[in-house]
C-alpha cells in the first residue's frame, strides 16, 4: 500500500541532499507553516535528468517541468501553484517524487530551494503510483520500483550489476538535516544508514558498542576491529545490527516539530549471517581496518533506513581543510555516551603531518587511511568505531570508517579513518563472493546474483527490467590469485608496481603483464586488489624442479621477524620446513629449518643432518610443513577463527642426502647443503608450496641490497620464537666478508649477509632459506653459520644455492 505523507513532515524526509537551509527573506520574523516547511525541504541545487534549461535571462532561468511544461526556475516561496497545491494536504510518495524532480538551479539561486514553476500557473500533474512488489527494496523510501541501470557498462560494473545503489540516481546517500565528541543532535531521519552493532557477553548481557553503514539491503560496512580481536574479549560476541535508531532510551523515537509530534518507524534489528574481514587486517598496526557484515535478512528501506553511497571511480577524495561529517552515539562532552544520534563536522587533516604525528606513537599512517579532526573537543570516539566519515558530493558518500586515534578530542591530534575508496575493489568482490546463501544466474551478457530463496515474481521482474545488468568479471592471475577485471588505472598494485616507475621491466615481468590481460571487450587486466583468494591450488611438481615462469613456486601473500624482524603473515613463505629431533632421553624439539623445493624434497644445511649430537644418539624424526605458531594446534591470523591455516603436515624421512664435499669435523663449513626426501608426497595448499631455486642465468644479489631470512630461531628476547618470523638485511661484499672472516676461508660457493646490529638469522634458523624477491621468491642461500648472533659488522655466512643446482638436480627423483 502507498502510504500518505503529511506535507509538514515532507521536509524531514530525505530528498535531494543534506544542506543547512539557505538565506531566505523570512529570517528575522515569525514564519508561516509553509515557510517552515520549505526551510526543512533542503532542495539541493542540482540539475536533474528531467530538467532542461533552455535559456537564461537577467531575472530567471527558463526550464521544463516534470510534465514538460515551460516554466521559470524560481524560489519555492514565489511559486504559488506548487505551494498552494501541496500545502495542508496529505502527500503520496509520487507527489513527493514530483517535487524532487521539480528542483532546478536558478540564475541567482545559490543555496536557495528553487523549483521549476509552470509559467501559466497550472497545477502540478502527478503520475499515478507504480506498484512495488513485496520484498523489493525501493531506491527511494516506499517509492516506485527501481528501474535498471542503463548505458555506461563501467558504472554497472562498479555497482556490481545493481547490488549497490546508484548515486547518480539518488538511490543512496540521501539525507536532510553525527557522536560525537563536541557534536550535536542529528535530526530524527538524518543519516538513515547509520547502523548500531550489538554484542552479547558471557552473562547474556547485550550492549551497543560500534557503528557501521548500510550500503545495500543486505550489507553493512564497518571496521574490522569491531568484529574481531579485542572487541570480542571486552564486549562479547557480535549478535545483531540495529538500523533506524535515533534514541536508544525510547522504544518509539519521536520529536516535536512546530507543535506536532513526528515519530519514526520502529528500529529494525537484523541478525548476522556472516562476517567478512579484510585479509590484510592487522590489529596492532590498524592496517586494512575494514569489514563487511552480511545480514540474515534483506532490509526494506523506509524514511529512516536508507543506504549510503560508496565512492565510485569519479569520486573526488577530500582535500586538506575540507569539512566531512561523522555520526554516531559515542562519547559527548556531557556524558560517557549519547542516547541520541549525534553529528559533527570535522576538517580533513594534512596527511603528511598526520604521518609525522603518529610516527611519534610508533604508528604508521598509509595512503589507505585518512586523517580528520584535530580540533579540541571535536572528534569521533570509541563508541563511534566503525561508523561513517561522510562527504557531501550532491549525495552523501562514505569516504571513511572510524578506525582509531590518540585518545579523544585532543588539540592537533586527528582521528584516523580507513579510506573507503582504496577498498572498493575488495568490497565489491567480497559482496559477490560472500554468498554462501546465494546462487549466481548467468545469462548471455547478464550476471545476476540472487538469494537462493527468491520469489518467482521478483525474479521475473528482475529479468524483465534487467534490474541487475552484470557483475564484474572474475578472473585468475598468472600467479594463482583471484581477481576482478579492471582497467590498469583502477588496479593500484599493478599500476604502481609496473607503470608508475622509471625502472626497466624484466622479461618475466613483461610476460606476466601479457598473461594478466583479461579477455574482455575493453582493455582490462586481472586485478587481485581487495579480492580474497580462497585457494591458490598450487601445482604439485614431483618430477624435477618447479618452473618459476609458470608460477609453480615462490608464491606467497602479503606481508617481516627473526632478530629485529617482524611476524610473517599466516600463509607467508609457505615453503618453510621445521626439522624435529629426538634426544636420547626421548625429548623432542625443532632445531633446524629447511625449504620445500618440490612435492617430495626439502633443502637444508648439511650440518643439520651430520653433526656431533647426531653421532651421540640424537635423531631427526620429523619434518613439519605449514607451521605458523608452534604453540597452537590450529593457527589463526590474530586469533580470528574465520582466518585459519590448514593443519600442519608432518612427514617421516625416507632419505637424507648430504653433499659429499661437506666435512662435519672441518673448520670451514664448506658445501653446507643437504636434501631430505620425505616419506610421501606433500599436499599443496595456500600454506604449503615450494620455493623457487635460482635459474641457470641467475644474477646474484649485489652488495648492499637486501635479502630476507625466515625462521623460528632466536628473536633477541627468547630462546626460540613460537611464531614464524622474518628479517631483512643487506648482502655483504665478498672482500669485506673475507676481512671479517680472515681466519676462515669463505669460498665462492658461499655468500655473506647481515652485519646489522640486532638483525640476523641465528642458530635456531640453521638450514633455513635466505631469499630474494625477483618477481617471485628465489632461495639464494641456506643459513650456515655466523659469529654469535646479530653482532654489528659481523655478517652471517650462507651456502650459495646457485652453485649447487647441478648436484640438486642429480639427487632428486620422482
Catalytic status, residue 209? no
Count Cα atoms within 13 angstroms, Cβ side, for 589: 12
φ, ψ (nearest 5 deg) of residue 100: -60, -40
Nearest Cα neighbor of 560 from 423, 456, 710, 694 is 710
For residues 56-80, one letter each, b for 16 or more C-beta atoms within 10 angstroms of the residue's C-beta and e for the rest, the string is: eeeebbbbbbbbebebbbbbbbebe
Q: How far apart are CA 362 and CA 374, in angstroms?
A: 19
**C-alpha to C-alpha distances, 81 to 11, 15, 29, 118, 237, nearest whole angstrom:** 18, 21, 24, 8, 56
Q: Please tell me the distance from the alpha carbon of residue 746 to that of residue 124, in angstroms, as a whole number.
A: 93
DSSP 8-state code for residue 542: -
> Mind giving me the DSSP string for 139-150?
SSTT-SPPPPP-
336-341: list long-range contacts, CB under 8 Å, 24+ apart. 337/383, 338/179, 338/180, 338/183, 338/383, 339/247, 339/248, 339/249, 340/185, 340/186, 340/246, 340/247, 340/248, 341/178, 341/185, 341/186, 341/190, 341/191, 341/194, 341/245, 341/246, 341/247
Is 556 among the catalytic positions? no
Contact 538, 552 (CB under 8 A): yes
Among 94, 96, 298, 265, smallest CA distance to 189 is for 265
Q: How far is Cα 399 from Cα 391, in angstroms, rounded to an integer? A: 6
Give the Cα separation of 343 and 347 in Å (integer).
Answer: 14
Please tell me which residue in 607, 659, 670, 671 is annotated as part of the active site: 607
Measured from the Cβ of residue 271, the count of other Cβ atoms closer than 10 Å reads 10
Among the listed residues 494, 492, 547, the one whose alpha carbon sits nearest the alpha carbon of residue 517 = 494
Residues in the chain: 814
Q: Quote helix, strand, coil % in the chain, to nearest 5.
A: 20, 30, 55
Q: What is the distance between the alpha carbons of residues 749 and 798, in angstroms, rounded to a whole number? A: 9
In 583-627, the DSSP E strands lie at: 588-596, 601-604, 619-625
Q: Which three cell numbers stand for residue 274?
A: 556472516
For residues 749 and 800, is the Cβ–Cβ distance under 8 A? yes
Torsion of CA 508, 513, 515, 521, to 10 degrees: -170
Among 224, 201, 209, which Cα is nearest to 281's? 224
* Rounded Cα–Cα distance for residues 298 and 618 (Å): 63
Nearest to 302 by CA among 263, 329, 330, 273: 263
> What does the DSSP 8-state code read for residue 356?
H
Active site residue 607: yes
* 432 Cα distance to chain centroid: 14
CA–CA separation, 179 vs 191, rounded Å? 12
Of 240, 338, 766, 784, the catalytic one is 766
Show Cβ contacts of residue 49 under 8 Å, excluding neighbours closer than 6 positions: none
653 alpha carbon, distance to own chain's centre: 42
Q: Are 803 and 748 in contact (CB under 8 A)?
A: yes
Which of 253, 635, 672, 765 is catalytic? The answer is 672
Determine how many CB atoms are found less than 10 A away from the CB of residue 748.
Answer: 8
Alpha helices in 682-784 (DSSP H): 734-740
Residue 186: name the closest of 117, 261, 253, 272 by CA.
253
- Catalytically active residues, by annotation: 607, 672, 766
Amino acid at each position: 500500500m502507498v502510504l500518505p505523507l503529511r506535507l509538514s513532515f515532507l521536509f524531514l524526509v530525505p530528498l535531494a541532499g543534506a544542506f543547512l537551509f539557505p538565506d531566505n527573506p523570512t529570517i528575522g520574523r515569525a514564519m508561516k507553516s509553509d515557510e517552515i516547511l520549505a526551510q526543512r525541504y533542503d532542495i539541493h541545487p542540482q540539475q536533474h535528468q528531467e530538467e532542461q534549461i533552455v535559456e537564461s535571462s537577467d531575472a530567471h532561468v527558463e526550464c521544463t517541468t516534470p510534465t514538460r511544461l515551460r516554466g521559470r526556475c524560481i524560489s519555492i516561496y514565489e511559486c504559488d501553484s506548487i505551494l498552494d497545491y501541496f500545502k495542508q494536504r496529505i502527500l503520496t510518495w509520487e507527489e513527493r517524487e514530483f517535487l524532487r524532480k521539480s528542483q532546478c538551479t536558478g540564475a541567482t539561486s545559490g543555496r536557495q530551494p528553487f523549483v521549476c514553476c509552470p509559467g501559466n500557473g497550472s497545477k502540478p500533474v502527478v503520475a499515478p503510483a507504480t506498484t512495488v512488489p513485496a520484498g523489493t527494496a525501493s531506491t527511494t523510501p516506499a517509492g516506485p520500483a527501481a528501474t535498471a541501470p542503463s548505458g555506461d557498462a563501467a558504472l554497472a560494473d562498479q555497482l556490481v550489476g545493481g547490488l549497490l545503489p546508484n548515486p547518480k540516481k539518488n538511490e543512496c546517500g540521501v539525507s536532510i538535516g553525527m557522536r560525537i565528541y563536541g557534536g550535536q543532535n542529528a535530526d530524527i531521519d538524518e543519516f538513515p544508514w547509520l547502523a548500531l552493532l550489538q554484542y552479547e557477553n558471557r552473562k547474556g548481557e547485550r550492549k551497543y558498542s560500534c557503528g557501521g553503514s548500510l550500503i545495500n539491503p543486505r550489507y553493512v560496512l564497518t571496521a574490522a576491529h569491531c568484529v574481531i580481536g579485542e572487541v570480542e574479549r571486552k564486549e562479547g560476541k557480535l549478535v545483531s545490527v540495529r538500523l533506524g535508531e535515533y534514541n536508544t532510551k525510547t522504544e518509539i523515537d519521536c520529536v516535536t516539530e512546530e507543535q506536532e509530534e513526528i515519530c519514526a518507524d520502529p528500529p529494525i534489528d537484523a541478525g548476522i549471517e556472516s562476517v567478512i574481514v579484510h585479509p590484510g587486517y592487522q590489529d596492532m598496526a590498524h592496517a586494512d581496518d575494514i569489514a563487511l557484515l552480511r545480514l540474515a535478512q534483506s532490509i526494506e528501506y523506509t524514511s529512516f533506513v536508507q543506504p549510503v553511497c560508496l565512492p565510485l571511480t569519479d569520486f573526488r577524495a577530500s582535500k586538506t581543510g575540507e569539512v566531512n561529517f561523522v555520526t554516531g552515539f559515542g562519547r559527548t562532552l556531557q556524558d560517557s555516551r549519547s542516547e541520541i544520534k549525534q553529528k559533527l563536522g570535522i576538517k580533513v587533516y594534512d596527511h603528511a603531518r598526520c604521518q609525522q604525528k603518529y610516527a611519534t606513537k610508533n604508528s604508521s599512517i598509509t595512503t589507505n587511511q585518512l586523517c580528520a579532526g584535530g580540533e579540541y573537543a571535536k572528534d569521533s570516539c570509541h563508541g563511534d568505531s566503525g561508523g561513517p566519515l561522510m562527504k557531501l558530493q550532491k549525495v552523501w558518500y562514505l569516504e571513511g570508517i572510524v578506525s582509531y586515534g590518540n585518545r579523544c578530542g585532543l588539540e592537533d591530534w586527528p582521528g584516523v579513518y580507513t579510506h573507503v575508496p582504496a577498498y572498493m575493489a575488495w568490497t565489491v568482490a567480497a559482496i559477490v563472493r560472500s554468498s554462501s546463501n546465494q546462487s549466481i544466474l548467468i545469462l548471455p551478457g547478464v550476471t545476476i546474483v540472487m538469494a537462493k530463496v527468491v520469489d518467482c515474481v521478483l525474479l521475473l521482474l528482475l529479468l524483465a527490467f534487467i534490474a541487475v545488468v552484470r557483475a564484474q568479471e572474475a578472473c585468475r592471475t598468472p600467479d594463482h590469485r583471484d581477481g576482478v577485471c579492471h582497467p590498469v588505472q583502477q588496479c593500484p598494485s599493478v599500476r604502481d608496481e609496473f607503470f608508475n616507475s622509471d625502472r626497466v621491466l624484466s622479461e618475466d615481468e613483461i610476460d606476466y603483464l601479457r598473461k594478466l590481460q583479461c579477455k574482455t571487450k575493453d582493455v582490462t587486466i586481472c586485478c587481485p586488489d581487495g579480492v580474497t583468494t580462497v585457494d591458490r591450488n598450487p601445482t604439485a611438481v614431483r618430477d624435477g624442479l618447479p618452473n618459476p615462469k609458470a608460477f609453480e613456486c615462490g608464491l606467497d601473500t602479503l606481508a617481516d621477524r627473526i632478530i629485529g624482524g617482524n611476524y610473517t603473515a599466516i600463509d607467508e613463505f609457505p615453503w618453510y620446513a621445521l626439522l624435529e629431533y629426538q634426544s636420547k632421553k626421548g625429548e623432542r624439539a625443532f632445531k633446524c629449518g629447511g625449504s620445500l623445493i618440490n612435492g617430495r624434497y626439502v633443502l637444508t644445511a648439511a650440518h643439520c643432518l651430520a653433526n656431533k649430537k647426531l653421532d651421540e644418539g640424537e635423531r631427526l624424526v620429523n619434518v613439519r610443513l605449514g607451521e605458523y605458531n608452534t604453540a597452537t594446534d590450529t593457527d589463526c591470523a590474530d586469533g580470528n577463527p574465520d582466518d585459519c591455516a590448514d593443519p600442519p603436515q608432518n612427514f617421516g624421512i625416507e632419505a637424507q642426502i648430504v653433499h659429499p664435499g661437506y666435512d662435519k669435523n672441518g673448520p670451514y663449513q664448506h658445501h653446507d647443503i643437504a636434501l631430505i626426501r620425505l616419506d610421501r608426497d606433500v599436499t599443496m595448499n595456500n600454506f604449503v608450496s615450494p620455493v623457487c631455486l635460482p635459474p641457470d642465468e641467475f644474477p646474484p644479489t649485489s652488495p648492499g641490497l637486501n635479502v630476507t631470512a625466515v625462521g623460528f630461531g632466536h628473536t633477541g628476547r627468547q630462546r626460540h620464537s613460537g611464531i614464524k618470523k622474518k628479517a631483512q638485511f643487506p648482502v655483504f661484499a665478498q672482500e669485506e666478508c673475507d676481512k671479517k672472516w680472515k681466519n676462515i676461508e669463505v669460498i665462492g660457493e658461499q655468500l655473506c649477509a647481515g652485519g646489522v646490529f640486532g638483525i640476523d638469522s641465528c642458530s635456531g634458523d640453521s638450514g633455513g632459506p635466505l631469499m630474494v624477491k625477483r618477481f617471485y621468491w628465489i632461495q639464494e642461500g641456506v643459513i650456515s653459520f655466523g659469529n654469535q648472533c646479530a653482532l654489528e659488522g659481523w655478517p652471517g655466512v650462507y651456502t650459495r644455492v646457485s652453485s649447487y643446482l647441478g648436484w640438486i638436480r642429480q639427487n632428486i627423483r620422482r
